[in-house]
Amino acid sequence: MALTIDFENAARKRLDGLAKPRGSLGQLENLAVTLARIQQSDRIATRPRRLVLFAGDHGVVDSGVSAWPSAVTTLMIATIVGGGAASSVLARETDTDLRIIDVGSLDSTPSDPPGFYRDARVRRGTRNLAQEAALTVAEFDAAWAVGADEAKAASQAGFRIVTAGEMGIGNTTPAACLTMLIAGAPLDQAVGRGAGAGDEVMATKRRVVAAAVEGEADREIKTAIAALCGLEIAAMAGFFANAATLGLVILLDGYVTTAAALIAEQLSPGTARAMIAGHQSAEPGHKSALDFLGLEPLLRFDMRLGEGTGALTAMPLLDAAAAIFNQMASLEEVGVARRD
Amino acid sequence: MALTIDFENAARKRLDGLAKPRGSLGQLENLAVTLARIQQSDRIATRPRRLVLFAGDHGVVDSGVSAWPSAVTTLMIATIVGGGAASSVLARETDTDLRIIDVGSLDSTPSDPPGFYRDARVRRGTRNLAQEAALTVAEFDAAWAVGADEAKAASQAGFRIVTAGEMGIGNTTPAACLTMLIAGAPLDQAVGRGAGAGDEVMATKRRVVAAAVEGEADREIKTAIAALCGLEIAAMAGFFANAATLGLVILLDGYVTTAAALIAEQLSPGTARAMIAGHQSAEPGHKSALDFLGLEPLLRFDMRLGEGTGALTAMPLLDAAAAIFNQMASLEEVGVARRD
């Protein structure tokens, strides 16, 4: 019989014995307990950590759901490769290793790609989900496998915290579909302005999402997910499900990433137990998705960029929780008796 | 005529030209604008930074307003000097220089004190504000001057961001008095549980605060402030007022620190323009005080420890804002035209 240690309880006890009033570090203490539970350890490690960015294009952009053309996906991949994107900057600032995996852009192939870039395209963009299934189940599985491989590689390389981000013009539309399908969010909550949709684009987006979800309602769940999915979203789902199994801490980013988390939890139940929500985005559906996963966000910063930027902004909060947990003196060492 | 540059407007324009949808980094962008405005620069510097901890004891502890005895102030000074306190740990984690200034503990004198400790006691503890004026105006001025000197020293040493924290058993009682007096908070909001007061202590605290504020209502404002103040609170007020004048960014911690900020703004109007609120504490009066100063907190983490811990937890968010502002590529460099 294996010895089972309740690391959650042990972590709470340890925190209660530190030189401070009980519970006085609030959410920082809860965060430490969560980290100790996921890592199954009496010492928390927040380094090394890695952000894996998954990129893909979306056929549904042809239906007018985005303010930006698909070509921007390619330009942003190049910007990330060049180190000038928001995610590049924040990864450097937070000492987070960055990788970018192209799972399905239309036409990105950086000249002279660096070692942290990988071309793993399953196909060039999804089909238009307003007209047909975006992906077949086989394509979904292939994209999932790309993410699964990345989780295994991160674990083998010794990373302790992983986060995923995405780059894909139009991908708040599949995210909205998946949040309705899996978390049961109402249409008005699920559909937000994404990267900057105006009123006309919003009306189109709402119509497209409602019809697409309606069309998949009676299908087998994995078939329905594939039909409404994006390649980068499927890859993130496979990344999360495998990272959780490997004991890695998953720091969640925004709305699209959380749609992938919903898929992971649906197809590999328990994955959400390894997750920490970095922030709650400005997209209204994000709260529904986080609630469904039972996650409370660390930050509410009205961010809506994606690319892992919300997760990276929250990353140092994990360091603070770990530092308190690993390094603080105990009340006993200080010579004070517990009074509260 | 001096050339006036509108750095706030320039910062907003710069952010709008970066490779991301307009405003998509939410509060991180607002934070960058605030930093650029306070520093009057088109480049934000968040390093080096310093936390100055001010310690003092409170005569009102004799009236039963705290769950902990005054002796804990001395023990915690020793713990901070020894490097095992929450503030010590978070200062190391966030690369923040730490100083501790004893402005009025009852009996702390570390044997073999390190260079970052300074004994600048104006008197040993305040008088009991439940019975008489806690400080005379002359004592208040002397404590203020200790803080003013620390601000000047930080500026001369090249620090760009400063934060203050406090250590003083019983000091949420003067903080509650000052929040009522200056920000006009109602009694039930102003008086919270501090570091862990039970129901009986809470009832006493409420009675003491109500009577003390009532007793000072008609007096000249500075006399009233001194009568309700703590030595560490007066020192923080002097620190803030002078830091603002010297162009330093002030990152605010919790309830007691913000009471000092209220004094600084009252006696040196405009000080609040140099402030960023790190977090909103679990003490209900903190929100009233922040609202009065026109500050929106970065974090809501239910922390209530003091010692600068909330400010230090928020410190890396300033780094993230600065990194985005200083380092991101522009849309022009990426080759995308503005669409939103």
To which residue do tokens 């004991």 refer?
Answer: A247
B200 touches chain A (CB under 8 A): no
The pLDDT > 70 percentage for chain B reads: 98
pLDDT for B4 beyond 70: no
- Nearest chain A residue to B340 by CA distance is A196
Element (H, E) at B64: none
What is the mean pLDDT of the segment spanning B158-187?
Answer: 97
Give the torsion sign (CA, B255, B257, B259, B265).
negative
Alpha helices by DSSP H, chain A = 7-16, 26-39, 71-82, 86-93, 137-156, 172-183, 187-190, 199-216, 221-228, 231-245, 255-267, 285-293, 309-327, 331-334
Is the CB of residue B31 less than 8 Å from the CB of residue B276? yes
CB within 8 Å of chain B, chain A residues 87-146 = 89-90, 92-94
CA distance A2 to chain B (A): 35
A65 touches chain B (CB under 8 A): no
- Tell me: the pLDDT tens digits for B313-330? 999 999 999 999 999 999
Q: What is the DSSP string of A257-309?
A: HHHHHHHHHHHSTTGGGGEEE-B--SSTHHHHHHHHHT---SB-------TTH
Cα angle B299-B301-B307, degrees, rounded to a multiple of 5: 90
Q: What is the mean pLDDT of chain B?
A: 95
What confidence score (pLDDT) does residue A3 get? 57
Q: How far apart are CA A277 and CA A294, in angstroms?
A: 10
Q: How many CB pairs under 8 A join A and B?
A: 167
> In this complex, which of B68, B76, B302 lies closest to A26 when CB atoms are compared?
B302
Against a cut of 0.90, is the pTM above it?
A: yes
The pLDDT tens digits of the residues spanning B192-214 come to 887 777 899 999 999 999 999 99
- DSSP one-letter code for B329: P
Provide the pLDDT for residue B92: 98
The ipTM assigned to this model is 0.96
pLDDT score, position B67: 86
Q: Could you tell me the end-to-end alpha-carbon distance of chain B, in angstroms, rounded to an integer?
A: 38
Do residue A305 and residue B78 have CB atoms under 8 angstroms apart?
no
User: Encoding tokens for residue A185?
Assistant: 């969010």
Q: Which amino acid is residue A134, in one-letter code?
A: A
Q: Rounded to whole angstroms, what are the CA distances from A210 to A76, A134, A294, B32, B253?
A: 29, 15, 25, 38, 46
Residues 6 or more apart from B69 whose CB is under 8 A from it?
B61, B169
Choose the closest CB to B323 out of A90, A304, A305. A90
Residue B1 has pLDDT above 50, yes or no: no
The reported pLDDT for the residue numbered A162 is: 98
Percent of chain B with pLDDT over 90: 91
Of B243, B230, B297, B194, give the one whose Cα is nearest residue B50: B243
- The pair of structure tokens assigned to A198 is 């105006």
pLDDT at res. A197: 77
Tens of pLDDT along A143-195? 999 999 999 999 999 999 999 999 999 999 999 999 999 999 999 999 988 77
CA distances from B223 to A24, A163, B59, B183 (A): 33, 54, 18, 17
CB pair distance less than 8 Å for B196 and A22 = yes
Q: Please identify every stretch of chain A with a pLDDT value under 50, giving residue numbers as ranges.
A: 1
pLDDT the model gives residue A336: 80
- State residue B111's pLDDT score: 85
Closest residue in B to A70 (Cα) is B336
| Partner A contacted by B210 (CB < 8 A) | no
Mean predicted confidence (pLDDT) in B28-44 = 97
Tell me, yes or no, if B68 comes closer than 8 A to chain A by beta carbon. Answer: yes
Residue B2 has pLDDT above 70, yes or no: no
- B45 close contact with A: CB closer than 8 A: no
B230-248 pLDDT per residue, tens: 999 999 999 999 999 999 9
pLDDT of amino acid A1: 46
Is B201 within 8 Å of chain A by CB?
no
Mind telling me how many Å the CA of B337 is from chain A's nearest CA? 10
